[in-house]
Structure 1
């Protein structure tokens, strides 16, 4: 298994407009976490300008599909996103 980081660059209106999409977004995130694909996720604070979601999967498709179907992305709350493989080497969830 590999780790992939989904990085979101948040739109200026993110905090003001996310409410109407938050339940669907969090539902997707909880479902991915229950399946073991999403390890951690959340936005940076002060300023709230980026968010990171860490996925564990065989390839980047899980993270990419999450972004492509995320209501935050679909409704313009995310101005840019990218997925990158993360070569994690230390921590409680790392398996060799």
Structure 2
């Protein structure tokens, strides 16, 4: 298994406008977590200008699909996004 980081650059209006899309976004995240694709995710603080979601899988397909279907992206709260493979080597839950 591999790890992939979905990195969002957040729009300036992210904090102000996310409320109307938050429940749909979190429901997507919950489903991805329940099936073992999404491991961890959240926005940076002070400033809230980026967010990182860590996915686990054979390919980056789940991370890309999440971004492409995210209501935050569809409604302009994400300025840009990318997925990068992350070569994790150690951690309390790491299963090499």
TM-score grouping bracket, smaller chain normalisation: over 0.9
Is there any run of 5+ residues in structure 2 with no aligned partner, and where? none
Segments of 4+ in structure 1 off by > 4 A? Answer: none
Matches within 5 A, 1:3-82: 3-82=3-82
Task: Report the secondary structure of 1:28's partner residue.
Answer: helix
Is there any run of 5+ residues in structure 1 with no aligned partner, and where? none
Count of residue correspondences:
96
Deviations 1:1-28 (A, max 9, x none): 0000000000000000001100000000
TM-score by length of 2: 0.98
Aligned twin of 1:84: 84
CA distance in 2, matches of 1:71, 1:51: 14
RMSD, matched Cα: 0.6
